[in-house]
């Protein structure tokens, strides 16, 4: 069957799933009572996900309608699934619309994130300093791996504030990681709040990052020989 969208999720992660629709005429207002159901590949319902309330929806009259559900895949086995969003919206013309949005969801096996943080070594470790600046010191639920932060350090010339800013800016564009940040609670309680807080933090880090001064070597001074060659100059090959 055709799906409205396809999503790939790593087992053990928490990720927002979105259902998007367009009002038939003008604008519409999404009503409360929207639900999400998760189906297994054989068509049976995944236990615990039978018409559960969505996590949120965009309010107010709008043409583009969107609802979402924050899916926790911790207890879900890897494999193929489908998710069904069902919601209603009141149209500006007074006609109610009912929407059913299907998502194809693939849950992949987990990948361990190798992350370290030792407060005792903070003063001597750019990696740990970057992790601290990025607000990711709980390695049990780390957002970035050591390899990722070391890469940001490399492309930032070793400046930890810039590396942390790079990591946060990448986080703001990655919905899977952003969902994890929302779950941890370091950057707000919802995706919009988290995105704003992350962007502001990255901007602040760039503002306070020490910038190495640019040192321009003095121009080479060329002089001719003098005293009939007794004092050789530097313009011999000119």
Give the lowest-confidence range in 40-44, 78-82, 104-108, 177-181.
177-181
Average pLDDT, stretch 152-179? Answer: 82
- CATH number, residue 98: 2.60.40.2910
Same domain for 18 and 98, yes or no, is yes
Are the C-beta atoms of 71 and 14 separated by less than 8 Å? Answer: yes
Range of the domain at 166: 119-208
Total tally of structural domains belonging to the chain: 2
Would residue 185 count as lying in a domain?
yes
Same-domain check for residues 93 and 179: no
pLDDT range class, residue 215, cuts 50, 70, 90: very low
Distance CA 234, CA 94 (A): 89
pLDDT of residue 110: 75
| Angle, CA of 234, 235 and 238, to the nearest 5° | 150
CA 191 and chain centroid, separation:
10
Looking at the chain, the whole-number percentage of residues with pLDDT higher than 90 is 44
Q: What is the pLDDT of residues 89-141, one digit of tens each?
A: 998 888 889 999 999 999 988 767 789 999 999 999 999 999 999 888 988 77
How is the beta sheet containing 14-22 ordered, strand by strand?
14-22, 64-72, 56-57
Least confident window among 117-121, 189-193, 200-204: 189-193
Residues 89 and 154 placed together within one structural domain of the fold: no
Q: Which residues contact 4 (CB under 8 A, 6 or more apart)?
A: 19, 20, 101, 102, 103
Residue 157 dihedral angles phi and psi, to the nearest 5°: 70, 25
pLDDT at 140: 79
Output the pLDDT for position 46.
Answer: 97
Domain boundary among 65, 87, 108: 108
The pLDDT confidence band at residue 160, using thresholds 50, 70 and 90, is: very high
- Residue 131 to residues 125, 127, 136, 195, 214: CA-CA distances in angstroms? 10, 6, 5, 18, 28
* Whether 76 and 154 share a structural domain: no
Asked if 19 contacts 101 with a C-beta cutoff of 8 angstroms, the reply is yes
Q: Which of 91, 92, 99, 169 is nearest to 134 (CA)?
A: 169
Point out which residues pair with 57 in neighbouring strands.
67
Give pLDDT, residue 170: 82
Q: Is 177 left (phi over 0), alpha (psi -120 to 50) or beta?
A: alpha
Whether residues 174 and 83 share a domain: the answer is no
Higher pLDDT pick, 183 / 105 = 105
Residue in the structure block whose two tokens are 């703001």 = 172
- Verify that 97 and 128 share a domain, yes or no: no
125 with 79, same domain: the answer is no
**Structure-block tokens of residue 13:** 């992660």
Residues 3-12, mean pLDDT to the nearest whole number? 82
**152 shares its domain with 91:** no
Same domain, 60 and 89: yes
Residues 144 and 101 in one domain: no
């Amino acid at each position: 069957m055709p799906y409205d969208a396809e999503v790939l999720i790593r087992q053990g992660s928490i990720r927002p799933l979105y259902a998007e629709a367009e009002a038939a005429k003008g604008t519409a207002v999404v009503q409360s009572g929207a639900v999400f159901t998760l189906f297994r590949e054989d068509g049976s319902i995944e236990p615990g996900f039978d018409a559960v309330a969505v996590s949120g929806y965009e309010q107010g009259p709008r043409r583009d309608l969107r609802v979402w559900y924050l899916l926790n895949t911790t207890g879900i086995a890897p494999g193929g699934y489908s998710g069904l969003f069902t919601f209603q919206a009141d149209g500006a013309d007074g006609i109610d619309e009912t929407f059913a949005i299907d998502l194809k969801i693939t849950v992949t096996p987990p990948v361990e994130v190798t992350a370290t943080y030792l407060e005792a070594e903070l003063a001597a470790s750019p990696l740990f300093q970057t992790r601290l600046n990025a607000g990711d010191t709980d390695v049990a639920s780390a957002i970035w791996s050591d390899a990722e932060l070391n890469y940001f350090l490399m492309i930032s010339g070793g400046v930890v504030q810039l590396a942390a800013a790079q990591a946060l800016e990448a986080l703001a564009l990655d919905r899977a990681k952003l969902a994890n940040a929302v779950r941890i609670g370091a950057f707000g309680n919802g995706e919009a709040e988290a995105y704003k807080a992350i962007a502001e933090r990255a901007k602040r880090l760039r503002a306070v990052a020490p910038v190495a001064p640019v040192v321009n070597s003095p121009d080479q001074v060329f002089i001719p020989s003098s005293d009939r060659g007794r004092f050789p100059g530097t313009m011999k090959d000119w």
